[in-house]
């Protein structure tokens, strides 16, 4: 189970401002200013000034620099669009690292890349460029573990970063700046499983398309990632077009008094939506047992389920953690109240796309 923070988009305007060091009052050059989760961003000049175009409202603005703690602030359409932003310097302590500690660190990096970027073809080909910025905190089960099999295994695995992470995604044609706030993997004793949560802010820079062959490859790969993703599912749900986009949602209902077989019943998920502005709230489904099937053709594209014929499918699970869960028109989720398991959850950071990505056939 995992989540990301992304913006919602309505209409465009520009944002200008300046960035200074809080202690020295000197301008901060080469700070990245971007709309979270998108390809829309800019860099401050030698005087700390910046101008960000194609702003969308409401949205989250992220100001990031390798030497400073990132700042994130929301903007609404009635905001003042000329900002003076102050940044606090990062405090980084360096020390000697033993051979044993380095070996452990190498293992931690390997584990983090697998669970953060993913183990599918997209995650395996994504490259974390500046892994030296990672900071690890690990806790293990002791003799007081809930069961003997857990003794010596990880209880929690927490990762933070001393600078924005730089990730190359050569199959998708993006360089990704990821301002990692916290990555956590922890054991949920109630369900007997590990849960993964990722909190951070994204800025995508497309590769230069220096050939038609590469452009065609990127387009195809992005479609492969997009379909049967959390982004695709949530957009389809918001538009009330789950069936047209290949999704069938069903619920497993426990038999009365625990006697007999579980009952599988198709569920009209869009009947639980309440719309407000560019958001929709999914109401009243907390902790219920939902699964979804994604049906697709030989290209991986969704099938319209109003047409009845044999088809391939992939299964996922969807979790509603609150009674009111928010989705947005662009398919993003502003908090962790909706998460996924199985097929969709296999797509991690290495298989993400900007929230302003839309299929172009």
pLDDT tens track for 48-85: 999 988 777 778 899 999 999 999 988 876 555 678 99
Which tens digits make up the pLDDT trace of 253-266? 877 766 667 788 99
> pLDDT grade, residue 361 (50/70/90)?
low
Tell me: cis bond preceding 58? Omega within 30 of 0 counts: yes
Written as six digits, the tokens of 8 are 């919602």
Looking at the chain, the whole-number percentage of residues with pLDDT higher than 70 is 89
The number of distinct structural domains making up the chain is 3
239/197 same-domain check: no
187's CB contacts (< 8 A; 6+ apart) are 141, 150, 154, 155, 156, 193, 194, 195
Contact 176, 203 (CB under 8 A): yes
Q: Name the CA dihedral angle for 5, 129, 221, 6, rounded to a multiple of 10 degrees.
A: 10
The CA distance from 267 to 81, in Å, is 44
244/319 same-domain check: yes
149's CB contacts (< 8 A; 6+ apart) are none
251/280 same-domain check: yes
Tell me, yes or no, whether 222 lies in a domain: no
Q: What is the structure's pLDDT at 94?
A: 46
326/262 same-domain check: yes
Beta strands in 125-217 (DSSP E): 127-128, 134-140, 154-161, 165-169, 174-188, 193-206
The CA distance from 352 to 337, in Å, is 19
Contact 14, 50 (CB under 8 A): no
Last residue of a domain, which of 206, 236, 262? 206
Last residue of a domain, which of 37, 62, 87? 87
Distances in Å between the alpha carbon of 293 and those of 241, 249, 259, 315? 14, 7, 27, 5
Instruction: Between 141 and 189, name the one with better pLDDT.
Output: 141
Q: List the beta bridge partners of residue 296.
A: 302, 312
Q: List the beta bridge partners of residue 290.
A: 251, 318
CATH number for the domain spanning 50: value is 2.60.40.1120
Please, what is the Cα angle at 293 between 291 and 299, to 5 degrees? 155
Tell me, yes or no, whether 201 lies in a domain: yes
320/280 same-domain check: yes
What element of type H or E holds 107?
Answer: helix 99-117
Last residue of a domain, which of 41, 56, 87? 87
Entry pTM: 0.84
Tell me, yes or no, whether 308 lies in a domain: yes
Looking at the chain, the whole-number percentage of residues with pLDDT higher than 90 is 60
345/231 same-domain check: yes
> What 3-state class would DSSP assign to 175?
strand
- 197 is in which domain, residue-wise? 99-206
60/122 same-domain check: no
Tell me, yes or no, whether 32 lies in a domain: yes
The CA distance from 155 to 145, in Å, is 9
Tell me, yes or no, whether 211 lies in a domain: no
Distances in Å between the alpha carbon of 216 and those of 120, 173, 296, 360? 21, 11, 21, 11
Interstrand relation of 312-320 and 338-342 (parallel, antiparallel or unpaired): antiparallel
> pLDDT grade, residue 357 (50/70/90)?
very high
Q: What is the structure's pLDDT at 309?
A: 61
297/340 same-domain check: yes
236/342 same-domain check: yes
Q: What are phi and psi of 119, to 5 degrees?
A: -110, 5
68/107 same-domain check: no
Q: What is the structure's pLDDT at 59?
A: 82
Tell me, yes or no, whether 194 lies in a domain: yes
Tell me, yes or no, whether 220 lies in a domain: no
Q: What's the mean per-residue pLDDT of the chain?
A: 86
Tell me, yes or no, whether 121 lies in a domain: yes
Which tens digits make up the pLDDT trace of 84-134? 999 999 875 544 444 455 678 999 999 999 999 999 999 999 999 999 999
Q: What is the structure's pLDDT at 35?
A: 92
157/121 same-domain check: yes
Residue 243, Cβ neighbours under 10 Å: how many? Answer: 19
The CA distance from 96 to 84, in Å, is 39
37 pLDDT higher than 50: yes
Q: What average pLDDT does range 197-220 have in this prediction?
A: 89
Please name which of 202, 278, 277, 195 lies closest in space to residue 234, comparing C-alpha atoms: 278
116/78 same-domain check: no
Q: List the beta bridge partners of residue 248.
A: 293
């Amino acid at each position: 189970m995992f989540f990301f923070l992304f913006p919602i988009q309505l209409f465009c305007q520009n944002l200008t401002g300046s960035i200074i060091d809080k202690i020295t009052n000197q301008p901060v050059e080469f700070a990245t200013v971007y709309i979270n989760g998108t390809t829309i961003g800019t860099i401050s000049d030698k005087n700390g000034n910046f101008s960000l175009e194609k702003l969308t409202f409401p949205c989250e603005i992220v100001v990031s620099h390798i030497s400073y703690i990132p700042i994130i602030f929301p903007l609404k359409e009635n905001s003042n669009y000329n900002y003076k932003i102050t940044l606090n310097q990062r405090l980084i302590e360096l020390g000697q690292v033993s051979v044993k500690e380095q070996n452990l660190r190498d293992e931690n990096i390997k584990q983090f890349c697998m669970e953060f970027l993913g183990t599918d073809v997209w995650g395996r080909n994504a490259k974390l460029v500046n892994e030296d910025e990672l900071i690890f905190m690990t806790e293990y089960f002791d003799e007081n573990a809930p069961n003997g099999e857990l003794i010596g295994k990880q209880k929690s695995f927490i990762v933070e970063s001393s600078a924005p992470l730089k990730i190359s995604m050569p199959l998708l044609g993006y360089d990704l700046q990821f301002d990692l706030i916290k990555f956590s993997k922890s054991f949920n004793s109630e369900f007997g499983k590990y849960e993964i949560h990722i909190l951070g802010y994204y800025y995508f820079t497309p590769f230069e398309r220096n050939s038609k062959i590469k452009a065609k490859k990127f387009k195809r790969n992005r479609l492969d990632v997009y379909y049967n993703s959390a982004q695709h599912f949530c957009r389809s749900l918001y538009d009330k077009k789950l069936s047209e986009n290949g999704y069938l949602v069903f619920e497993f209902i426990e038999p009365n008094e625990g006697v007999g077989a579980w009952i599988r019943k198709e569920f009209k998920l869009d009947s639980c939506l309440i719309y407000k502005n560019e958001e929709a709230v999914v109401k009243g489904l907390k902790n219920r047992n939902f699964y979804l099937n994604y049906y697709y053709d030989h290209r991986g594209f969704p099938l319209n389920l109003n047409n009845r014929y044999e088809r391939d499918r992939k299964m996922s699970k969807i979790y509603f953690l609150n009674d009111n869960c928010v989705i947005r028109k662009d398919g993003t989720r502003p908090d962790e109240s909706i998460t996924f398991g199985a097929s969709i959850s296999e797509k991690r950071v290495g298989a993400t796309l900007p929230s302003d990505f839309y299929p172009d056939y």
